[in-house]
């Protein structure tokens, strides 16, 4: 279906955002070296990444910002809007709701769910909060969910999402949820990230570069 390496695919949204920044700053051209300094990715890696999409740059010149941006807009389906539901309106969930994804993105958090009656019926950052009991009813058509609930709730909610027909879950709970093979789950484990950083600091001390 797609020949783009996964490692490359993960960097695309990052490139896209920085190109957008450059464009807003009025910059007309950019070299892989400049972009490398901005996004902290090796310049050869950037050139390689771009090359999977064809020859987007010009030798001796670099890349035309506007052209590149337009290309990525199409490639990343920035025109096509993806609706997302957020489950769990705690602090982490609220942080997501306040993030204005629509500004530079193709993603819209359309609705949120929580069990707290005080939150149900309110809007947070334009996003309506419904009761978790109404999840299946309200979520028709929404295929992606962000899970920002307590770990103890993870399995139960996951099963309900699976039954409802979800295709992708961004899981922020420390639980490693189990789903059928056709559903994609990305785990982001904040505690693990912090522990990994500390481990690296102790065991892989940096001396000069990188």
Partner DNA sequence: AATAAGTCGTGAGCAATTTCACAATATTAT
Partner DNA sequence: ATAATATTGTGAAATTGCTCACGACTTATT
- The residues binding its own copies (CB under 8 A) are 1-2, 4, 6, 9-10, 12-14, 16-18, 37-40, 76-77, 82, 84, 90-92, 94-96, 98-99, 101, 105-107, 143-144, 146, 167-168, 170, 174, 176, 178, 181-184, 186-210
Angle between helices 65-75 and 6-24 (to 10 degrees): 130
Distance, in Å, from the CA atom of 121 to the CA atom of 60, rounded to the nearest integer, reads 57
> Between residues 121 and 174, which has the closer beta carbon with respect to its own copies?
174
Q: Which residues contact 128 (CB under 8 A, 6 or more apart)?
A: 111, 112, 122
The dihedral formed by the CA atoms of 197, 199, 201 and 203, expressed in degrees to the nearest 10: -150
The site partner of 74 among its own copies, DNA, none (C-beta below 5 to 8 Å per kind) is none
Which among 142, 92, 93 has a CA at the least distance from the CA of 113? Answer: 93
The site partner of 195 among DNA, its own copies, none (C-beta below 5 to 8 Å per kind) is its own copies
The site partner of 117 among DNA, its own copies, none (C-beta below 5 to 8 Å per kind) is none
Angle between helices 43-51 and 32-39 (to 10 degrees): 110
- Closest distance to its own copies from the beta carbon of 159 (Å): 16
Interface residue list for DNA (CB under 7 A): 5-8, 31-33, 42-45, 47-48, 50-51, 55-63
The site partner of 59 among DNA, its own copies, none (C-beta below 5 to 8 Å per kind) is DNA
Report which DSSP code applies to 203. H
- Closest distance to DNA from the beta carbon of 64 (Å): 9
């Amino acid at each position: 279906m797609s020949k783009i390496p996964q490692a490359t695919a993960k960097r695309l949204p990052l490139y896209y955002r920085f190109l957008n920044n450059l464009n807003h700053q009025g910059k007309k051209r950019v070299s892989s070296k400049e972009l490398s300094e901005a996004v902290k990715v090796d310049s050869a890696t950037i050139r390689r990444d771009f090359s999977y999409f064809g020859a987007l740059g010009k030798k001796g010149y670099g890349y035309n910002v506007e052209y590149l941006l337009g290309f990525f807009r199409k490639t990343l389906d920035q025109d096509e809007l993806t609706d997302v539901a957020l489950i769990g309106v705690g602090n982490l969930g609220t942080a997501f709701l306040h993030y204005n994804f629509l500004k530079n993105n193709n993603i819209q958090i359309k609705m949120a769910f929580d069990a707290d009656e005080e939150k149900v019926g309110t809007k947070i950052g334009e996003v309506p909060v419904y009761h978790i009991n109404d999840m299946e009813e309200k979520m028709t058509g929404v295929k992606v969910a962000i899970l920002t609930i307590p770990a103890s709730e993870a399995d139960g909610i996951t099963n309900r999402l699976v039954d409802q027909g979800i295709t992708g879950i961004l899981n922020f709970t420390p639980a490693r949820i189990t789903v059928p093979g056709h559903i994609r789950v990305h785990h982001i484990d904040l505690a693990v990230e912090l522990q990994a950083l500390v481990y690296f600091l102790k065991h892989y001390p940096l001396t000069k570069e990188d």
